[in-house]
Amino acid sequence: MKHILTAIFCFFTGISCCDMASHPPAETFFRRDAITDGIFIDAKEIRIPGFKDAFNPSLIDTEQGLLLSFRYLPDPLGNPSFSDIYMVYLHDDFTLKSLPQKLPTRTKTHPIPSQAEDARLFRFQGSLWVIYNDNMEFLGISADQRRDMYIAKVDFTGGRFCLGKPLKIIHQGKWDNVLWQKNWVPFEYQGNLLMSYSLNPHEVLLVNMNTGVCQSVYETKAPIKWVFGSMRGGTPAELVDGEYLAFFHSSKEMPSLYSNGKLMYHYFMAAYTFSKDPPFHITKMNKSPLIHPDLYKPTAYGKRVVFPGGFAIRGNKIIMALGKDDHQVWVVTMDKDKVLQSMSSVK
């Protein structure tokens, strides 16, 4: 059985059998004592009363405490494209500190209901902002319709969240050819808002905060070998110990111990860093995914999704919000030093 699982793992990940020494074998890939041993301190599902199947959260630390955003489908069977963004404060033990509030991504007279997806919270020039993808022009989910990226300032006044006017941000060179824009990684540099548009090559955009038009300013390519699907943006990037730190995600259709050997999509996350100054080349990353076995426990849904959305650092702890299986909100706590030590240099 061991050899069969190993062969299956090699076939679906593209790793040759002779290269297995540098990668975890199939039968141990999802065990706690794999590469992520000791990195995770805790993992907890966050249940939000009245919001069944809330998912794909983000998280940021504020003066009022940990702030969590999450995605919620108000009518998943009748109108699956309707999608709202909610915000809620958490206590330090990750229990709810406030009632969830919906971010008003639409004016009252807008003809198209909110179709906002996968918000990430970030800071820019000392203020709280949110980035998300949306379709404000057509109703429904279709591959031939656009999904564009939007950013907006978030204020908390009088106990209510207020959203500034959303600004559509456009990669001028690729907007025409890529209908679905998703997973941009925001970070701040010398008072400017930059976005990682892709990870390898690491293409960095400069956002014009007046027009939304983004200029490609840097692009570097690293000799990265990642066999778990295309690397896509996950969390916003934060300066940590002299470099920007972020977590990406990828997906791969493959069998595993947590799919009972069945072929299905598995999502993975990993950490990476890039230089604090231009051209922002990627410096380090995990060679294998960061695995917590609770995040891969089988559910009723036909894929194993781990979707990192945002993190806060408190002392030597990284507190991260992530989505599981497109139907759950989780918060994991990781040892910051061990996360940093788990990465290898990219040369």
Question: Which of the two residues, 52 and 4, has the higher pLDDT score?
Answer: 52
The pLDDT score that the predictor gives to residue 15 is 46
pLDDT digits (tens, 9 = 90+) for 135-153: 998 888 777 788 999 999 9
Please give the DSSP secondary-structure letter assigned to residue 81: T
35 in a domain, yes or no? no
Same domain, 26 and 44: no
Let me know whether 56 and 10 are in one domain: no
Domain co-membership, 187 together with 64: yes
Q: Which CATH number belongs to the domain containing residue 123 in this structure?
A: 2.115.10.20
On the question of pLDDT at 247 being above 50, the answer is yes
Q: Is the pLDDT of residue 10 over 80?
A: no
Residue 89 inside a domain? The answer is yes
Of residues 47, 46, 12, the one with CA closest to residue 26: 12
- pLDDT, average across residues 165-178: 92
pLDDT of residue 193 exceeding 70: yes
pLDDT at 36 (0 to 100): 61
Query: Is pLDDT above 90 for 28?
Result: no
Average pLDDT, the chain: 90
Do 13 and 45 lie in one domain? The reply is no
Residue 24 predicted with pLDDT over 80: no
Mean pLDDT confidence for 172-179: 87
* Highest mean pLDDT of the ranges 6-15, 32-41, 213-222: 213-222
215/119 Cα distance (integer angstroms): 22
Range of the domain at 25: 1-30
Q: Does one domain contain both 3 and 144?
A: no
Q: What percent of the chain has pLDDT over 70?
A: 89
pLDDT at position 141: 73
Same domain flag for 8 and 153: no
Are 104 and 242 members of one domain? yes
Q: Residue 252: inside a domain, yes or no?
A: yes
93 in any annotated domain: yes
Taking 70 as the threshold, does the pLDDT of residue 7 lie above it?
A: no
Higher pLDDT, 31 or 251: 251
Using the predicted structure, report yes or no on whether residue 260 has a pLDDT greater than 90: no
DSSP state of 229: S
Distance (Å, whole) CA 110 – CA 87: 22
| Average pLDDT of span 50-55 | 97
Q: What is the pLDDT of residue 27?
A: 39
Note whether residue 163 is domain-resident: yes
Judge if 139 and 259 occupy the same domain.
yes
275 shares a domain with 225: yes
| Same domain (yes/no): 8, 127 | no
| DSSP SS3 for 186 | strand
The three-state secondary structure class of 97 is: coil
- The stretch 2-20 carries a mean pLDDT of 45
- Average pLDDT over every residue of 67-77: 97
How far apart are alpha carbons 268 and 254 in whole angstroms?
12
Q: Residue 308: beta bridge partners?
A: 322
* Per-residue confidence (pLDDT) for residue 20, from 0 to 100: 36
Residue 38 has pLDDT above 60, yes or no: yes
The span from the CA of 269 to the CA of 342, in Å, is 13
Least confident of 20-24, 120-124, 138-142, 338-342: 20-24
Q: Is residue 52 part of a domain?
A: yes
Q: Considering only residues 18 and 195, tell me which one the structure prediction assigns the higher pLDDT.
A: 195
Residues 81 and 203 in one domain: yes
Position 129 confidence tier, pLDDT thresholds 50, 70, 90:
very high
Report whether pLDDT(17) > 80.
Answer: no
Assess whether 23 and 169 both reside in one domain.
no
In a domain, 164, yes or no: yes
Percent of residues, the chain, with pLDDT higher than 90: 77
Q: Which residues pair with 254 in a beta bridge?
A: 264
What is the number of structural domains in the chain? Answer: 2
Which residues have CB under 8 Å from 159's CB, separation 6+? none
Whether residue 121 is contained in a domain is answered as yes
